[in-house]
Amino acid sequence: MKDHEILARIGKGDEGALDYLYKKHYRMMTKIVLSNNGTEEEAKDIYQDALIVFWQKAVKGNLVLTSKISTFIYSICLNLWRKELERKSRLVNEEKDGQASQNFEAKEQQKIIHECIGELGDTCKRILTYYYFDGMNMNEIAEKLNFANTDTAKTKKYKCKKRLDQLIKTRFSSNDFLD
């Protein structure tokens, strides 16, 4: 598959193109981390994150590549691994400063939000993730989910978001989160 075909398929939200890229470059990309003091698990994690960053940019359909896709993903991998190494070295200091407990709290909040999203129906999950993560517009969402028109997508997105907010508010009785 040529680069422009991959971009076109990702532009349509075709996750199969992501699978193809993942497999195709797995060895080359994980080698970056493996040959720089990373474990196999870290290498896989960084590569997946890099690929998802690429997906997120490409799915919006306005990514103009000046290099090959592989070169682009390679540079994302490198950057992510550098950041991860910095984060690791910072971690020791954070533990001393008590920042770790704040991180723990934020993680707990995210965990609860995840659980609430899990309670939504499949259509709601897809609308919200396509909109807030993939950056699809209402027209694209309507097309992908076979809605009658853009207005239907808008209405559904509004209702799904309200439902999620309610679920989250119910879970957080304290006032320090969502009022």
Choose among 70, 68, 85: nearest CA to 33. 85
Is residue 177 close enough to count as binding another protein by CB under 8 A? yes
User: What are the C-alpha distances in Å from 41 to residues 32, 38, 44, 46, 132?
Assistant: 13, 8, 5, 9, 28
Q: Could you tell me the end-to-end alpha-carbon distance of the chain, in angstroms, rounded to an integer?
A: 50
* Number of Cα atoms under 13 Å in the Cβ half of residue 165: 8
How far apart are the C-alpha atoms of 84 and 47, rounded to whole Å?
12
Q: In this structure, what DSSP letter does residue 137 have? A: -
Of the two residues 116 and 147, which places its CB atom closer to another protein in the complex? 116
Which one of 57, 60, 144, 161 is in contact with another protein (CB under 8 A)?
161
| 60 belongs to the binding site for another protein (CB under 8 A) | no
The contact pattern for another protein, residues 120-139, with x = CB under 8 A and - = no contact, is: -----x--xx--xxx-----
Which range touches another protein (CB under 8 A), out of 82-90, 93-101, 114-122, 142-150? 114-122
Residue ranges binding another protein (CB under 8 A)? 1-3, 15, 18-19, 22-28, 48-49, 51-52, 55, 68-71, 109-110, 113-114, 116-118, 125, 128-129, 132-134, 161, 164-165, 168, 177-179
